[in-house]
Copies of this chain bind each other. A is one copy, B any other.
Amino acid sequence: MSIGPVGVTRRATISDVAREAGTGKTSVSRYLNGETNVLSSDLRARIEAAIKRLDYRPNQMARGLKRGRNRLVGLLVADITNPYTVGVLRGAEEACHVLGLMPLVCNAAGEVEMERRYLQLMTTYRVEGVIVNALGVKEETLRPVGEGGTPAVLVDRTIDGLLADMVGLDNGNAVALGMRHLLDEGFEDIRFVVQPYERISSRRLREAAFRSTLEQAQRERDPGAAPLRGETMVLDLSDDEAVAQAHEAVDRHLEAASKAGGRRVAYFAANGPVALSLALHLHARYGSRWQERVALLSIDDSEWAELIGVTAIRQPTFEIGYRAVEFLHERIEGAVVPAREAMLPGELVIRRSTVRQNEN
């Protein structure tokens, strides 16, 4: 049991401390806010003692009420189940910690409705700013930069019509990195698999980068060589039936490819969840040696990718989260600059899956 009043312990207030120290609330407040140079060392000591004796902790809520800022920032993520999210969260929390902010983490768990409600709830707690890894919020819900509303920083994806800071992967570069590697390794039939991408900017950008990279490679190819094959395939993970159909399409593709001869085929997953879905299916369909049949490359690195030797493009998730909070902090402190964009580079991690060599 800690020191202090026993029984039903009402938390000590600033008045309690003042009384205990034989002084007024003002001086205690001054002590708390570091205006210690304005206090006689005697009084300072008394206050310090009283605080310790009562185990006093200033009430942030009351503080926030008075000052108009409570140091709370909302972190709204689309799906905490995604390792990408966890990485971002870690970086964001660390930055908050350094900057004296208190993160209010909310997980929309893939549901747009949840996302809207949490956003409301956050404003209700008067968060000073929000970091949003959006699922489907509309522009009306947030306020454009400079509108005087709660500052917002977007992560990984933009929101149509919303002018705000945004931090994410340099998608074009990341895809190009992966494609160059696949082409260098001699793959001639590449399928880019991505979740429905019309409404999510990062997916859109990745898909576009895939096509443009492919076309360019085609143009630069030996005139005599067989033409490259490349196609985009949509995989809607929220729809079991669609997933099953997509998996079947994969099977047909591989079947056809193997019949047609030795063309080396690769699947390029636009993100971790897609890669996992593919890997699970391939494992179920072709057994544990499935990688001898198809190559897999994925944006988003993960434990399992390392474990089974799948090449990946690692996103700097920690830094993305960190930078997002830094942006937000600047806004909170009153910066009035145009919307910014930080596109961080991905890193290619080459593993067995995509290189020619004998089975280990």
Q: Among B64, B120, B147, which residue has its beta carbon within 8 angstroms of that of A9?
A: B147
- Which residue of B is nearest A70, CB measured? B61
Please name all residues of chain B whose beta carbon is closer than 8 Å to the beta carbon of A359 when the two chains form the complex.
Answer: 287-288
Chain multiplicity (copies) = 2
Contact A309-B280, Cβ < 8 Å, known A58-B124, A81-B90 = no
A10 to B: closest C-beta gap in Å:
8
Q: Which of A260-282 contact B (CB under 8 A)?
A: 276, 279-280
Q: How far is the CA of A93 from the CA of B114 in the complex (A)?
A: 11
Q: Which of A176-200 contact B (CB under 8 A)?
A: none
Q: What chain B residues lie within 8 Å of A94 (beta carbons)?
A: 109
Of residues 90 through 116 on chain A, the ones whose CB sits less than 8 Å from some CB of chain B are: 90, 93-94, 97, 102-107, 109, 114
B148 near A121: Cβ-Cβ < 8 Å: no
As a 0/1 sequence over residues 56 to 89 of chain A, the CB contacts with chain B under 8 angstroms (1 = contact) are 0111111011000010000000001100001001
A314 CA to B241 CA, complexed, in Å: 26
Q: Which listed residue, B8, B58, B106, B140, touches A2 by the CB 8 Å rule?
A: B140
Stretch at the interface among A42-50, A204-212, A217-225, A299-307: A299-307
Q: Which of A280-328 contact B (CB under 8 A)?
A: 280, 283, 287-288, 291, 302-304, 306-309
Q: Point out the residues of chain B lying under 8 angstroms from A307, CB to CB.
A: 276, 279-280, 283, 304, 307-308
In the complex, A149 has a CB within 8 A of chain B: yes
Instruction: Contact check, A103 vs B102: say whether CB atoms are below 8 A apart.
Output: no
Contact B65 A61 (CB under 8 A): yes
In the bound complex, CA of A311 to CA of B226 (Å) = 45
Residues of chain B within 8 A (CB-CB) of A61 are 61, 64-65, 70, 125-126
A-B contact pairs, 29 of them (CB 8 A): A1-B143, A2-B140, A9-B148, A57-B120, A57-B124, A58-B124, A59-B124, A60-B125, A61-B125, A61-B126, A65-B65, A80-B89, A81-B90, A89-B107, A102-B121, A103-B105, A104-B104, A104-B105, A276-B303, A279-B307, A280-B306, A280-B307, A288-B309, A288-B352, A288-B359, A288-B360, A302-B303, A307-B308, A308-B308
